[in-house]
């Protein structure tokens, strides 16, 4: 039985698609990858195939006319276009008997062979339940019995015709309607839908407890899916595993061929400090960043961040977490060597208290006379004399 992976992307989405291809090739040799596209240059395919030839991974240029999808309806135009319907062309463009379709906003973090070997039990499609919509599958990862799919009369034609009518979840709704009783539930880790983290958390969605439960059940994920608009390649993003995507994006092809260790994105810092802010004004932050290059400053907020903070990302030891989600807060508190209270405006005492309860020092310009727990851990400094604070951080 022949096997292949399939991806859909246009030229504007080439960097995420190439990152996914790198991640597939890093863990899976001897596998053809069909890239369904309308406008990716021939030279790009020639170059990538020359580099991946030693491990027998070939990226096939499965090109089709843009006019095929031009009338399809898209509900989330801020991060989607009609290429999302490209997966419906797999029976026409991919000859393999079994095809694994993966959305381009994903990375593969393990071997795919156990997934390819899955018994579909006579079903046409294997998929993972959508974490926020029980009873339906997420179309970001589809294990297809392509032989059976090819045998279905007018499959592609019929679904593309229906796709011209606006639906709530575009091709995903169409595929769920079509395969309502003909899909197999795969292990949740084959589509780790972490992109929902931000949306569900801030909307206090009723599916949030279930989402956390399924996310825990799916760990460690074989395929990490950065669904929704909160993409790890954005200038700023909120969800978890941002660095994982950048590890695969930064891989050299020579590193893929020899299976070198994944590159480390962040350097090792002697000290890590955590600040949660409701203001973009953090007194003396730039001074601290400049004179303490071996200290990592992690700053989180409930909201997006203003230019004053964003401009400071030119310092590699500053990492910002706008619209932060609970999982990243837990990580930042766990990793912190201390809490740094230098921000103006309101305070999130819950996070300061969580740090102090874990015996992490509190370095602050402020006093907490009504909170004996914080007062006991407090090291107070004069904001007009940052050298005192710098000396204390060096002692940590």
* Residue range of the domain that includes 200: 3-257
Same domain assignment for residues 250 and 226: yes
Residues 323 and 372 in one domain: yes
CA-to-CA separations, 177 to 137, 203, 290, in angstroms, rounded: 10, 27, 57
For the stretch 96-107, pLDDT in tens is: 999 999 999 999
Query: Tens digits of per-residue pLDDT, 288-330?
Result: 999 999 999 999 999 999 999 999 999 999 999 999 988 899 9
The answer as to whether 265 is a domain residue is: no
| Cα–Cα distance list, 262 to 63, 245, 253 (Å) | 31, 11, 12
> What are the counts of helices (DSSP H) followed by strands (DSSP E) for the chain?
17, 16
Position 288 scores a pLDDT of: 96
Is 75 in the same domain as 119? yes
Whether residues 231 and 311 share a domain: the answer is no
What total of structural domains would you count in the chain? Answer: 2
Are 159 and 292 members of one domain? no
Do 79 and 204 lie in one domain? The reply is yes
pTM of the full predicted structure? 0.91
Domain harbouring 197, CATH code: 3.90.550.10
Q: Which pLDDT tens digit goes with each residue over 218-227?
A: 888 999 999 8
Q: Which helix (H) or strand (E) holds 37?
A: strand 32-37
Helix H or strand E encompassing 249 = helix 242-249
Do residue 231 and residue 309 come from a single domain? no
Q: Residue 86 above 90 pLDDT?
A: yes
């Amino acid at each position: 039985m022949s096997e292949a992976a399939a991806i859909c992307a246009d030229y504007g989405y080439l960097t995420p698609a190439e990152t996914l291809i790198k991640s597939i090739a890093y863990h899976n040799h001897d596998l053809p990858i069909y890239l369904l596209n309308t406008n990716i240059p021939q030279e790009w395919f020639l170059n990538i195939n020359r580099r991946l030839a030693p491990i027998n991974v070939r990226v096939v240029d499965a090109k089709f006319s843009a006019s095929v999808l031009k009338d399809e309806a898209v509900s989330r135009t801020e991060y989607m276009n009609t290429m999302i319907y490209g997966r419906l062309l797999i029976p026409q463009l991919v000859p393999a008997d079994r095809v694994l379709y993966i959305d381009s906003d994903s990375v593969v973090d393990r071997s795919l062979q156990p997934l390819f070997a899955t018994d579909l039990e006579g079903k046409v499609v294997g998929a993972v339940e959508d974490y926020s919509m029980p009873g339906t599958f997420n179309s970001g990862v589809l294990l297809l019995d392509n032989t059976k799919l090819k045998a279905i009369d007018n499959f592609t034609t019929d679904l593309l015709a229906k796709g011209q009518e606006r639906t709530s979840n575009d091709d995903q709704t169409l595929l769920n309607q079509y395969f309502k009783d003909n899909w197999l539930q795969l292990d949740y880790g084959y589509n780790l839908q972490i992109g929902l983290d931000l949306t569900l958390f801030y909307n206090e969605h009723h599916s949030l407890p279930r989402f956390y439960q399924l996310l825990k059940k799916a760990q460690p994920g074989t395929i990490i899916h950065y669904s929704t608009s909160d993409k790890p390649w954005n200038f700023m993003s909120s969800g978890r595993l941002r660095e994982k995507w950048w590890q695969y994006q930064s891989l050299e092809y020579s590193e893929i061929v020899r299976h070198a260790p994944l590159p480390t994105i962040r350097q090792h810092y002697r000290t890590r400090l955590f600040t949660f802010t409701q203001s973009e004004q953090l007194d003396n932050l730039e001074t601290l960043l400049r004179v303490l290059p071996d200290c990592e400053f992690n700053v989180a907020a409930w909201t997006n961040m203003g230019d004053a903070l964003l401009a400071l990302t030119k310092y590699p030891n500053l990492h910002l977490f706008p619209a932060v989600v609970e999982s990243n807060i837990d990580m930042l508190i766990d990793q912190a060597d201390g809490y740094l209270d230098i921000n103006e405006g309101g305070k999130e005492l819950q996070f300061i208290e969580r740090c102090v309860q874990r015996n992490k020092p509190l370095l602050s310009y402020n006093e907490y006379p009504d909170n004996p727990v914080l007062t006991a851990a407090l090291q107070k400094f004069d904001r007009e004399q940052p050298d005192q604070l710098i000396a204390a951080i060096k002692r940590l």
